[in-house]
Amino acid sequence: MVADLIDGKAIAEALRRDIANEVAALAGQGIKPGLAVVLVGEDPASQVYVRNKAKQTVEAGMASFEHRLDAGTSEAELLALVERLNADPAVDGILVQLPLPPQIDATRVLRAIDPAKDADGFHPINVGLIATGAGGLAPCTPLGSMMLIRSVKPDPTGLEAVIVGRSNIVGKPMIQLLLGAGCTVTVAHSRTVDLPSVCRRADILVAAVGRAEMIRGEWIKPGAIVIDVGINRVQGAEGKSRLVGDVAFAEARAVAGAITPVPGGVGPMTIACLLANTLQAAKARRGLG
């Protein structure tokens, strides 16, 4: 058996096309969704992310508002900017790029964002809405992962799902989305006793533990859907670095039914879902559902 590749790049592209079509329809009503992205400091990876987000926002027909602040910006200054964006009628979604410099409390900043404009889905109110099945804006990476799962299994009701990783950004919201889809959900992590046997129960295995190639092929249930959220840079041959996931890809592909590659799996879905959240927020703010 060789697992089918779940092409996150193609699925994300199709999602962005659908979003662009909806945005174009809204333009006929005089509505242009707007996404504001705030970057504090000069973290190289964050700069790349922000540049890609701005590019895809514009390509989808939305307004892009970039706010680049120097690394010495105070927490009070950042909170004041968030408050201005909350009040700005042209802004439907707000994203504050993490990590933030040490003088700024990220939790305080994220909680200051208007939940209705919380494009990242991190505000406690959105977390609660997702947990209770009452709507809300879901975190982008789990939302994208769920879309990839449904691309293989449109109705995963009754399947056993195992999430390896318990972070607030991926693991915990993934629980709620899988429960909402009717799955039986187990949350495991690096300290779980006999982790391999727990993983082998999974019809759907979501790896989000942050350890390069930790999950081996022998841990995979034959035919399982494997979603690899991990992005780890490791040294390869001749000192060249390469990106790998949390799953030993070649081993797992020989056992699984479908698997996401790294790169090109979950990653492309994250920005596409950011745009989807911004569109959802724009419509909700105008009573359009």
**Amino acid identity for residue 218 in this structure:** E
Which residues fall within 8 angstroms of residue 78, CB to CB, at 6 or more apart?
38, 40, 69, 96, 100, 104, 109
In whole angstroms, give the CA distance from residue 278 to residue 289.
13
Catalytic residue among 53, 117, 172, 221, which?
53
Could you report how far apart the first and last alpha carbons of the chain are, in Å? 44
97 is catalytic: yes
Catalytic residue among 56, 97, 176, 280: 97
Catalytic residue, candidates 56, 92, 118, 120: 120
Q: Which DSSP string corresponds to 76-127?
A: HHHHHHHHHHHH-TT--EEEEPSPPPTTS-HHHHHHHS-GGGBTT--SHHHH
Our answer to whether residue 153 is catalytic in this structure is no
- Residue 120 among the catalytic residues: yes
Whether the Cβ atoms of residue 148 and residue 6 lie closer than 8 Å to each other? yes
Angle at 224 (CA atoms; ends 220, 226), nearest 5 degrees: 80
Number of other CB atoms surrounding residue 71 within 10 Å: 13
89 upstream amide cis, omega within 30 of 0: no
* Residues present in the chain in total: 289
Provide the token pair at 196: 């391999």
Catalytically active residues are 53, 97, 120
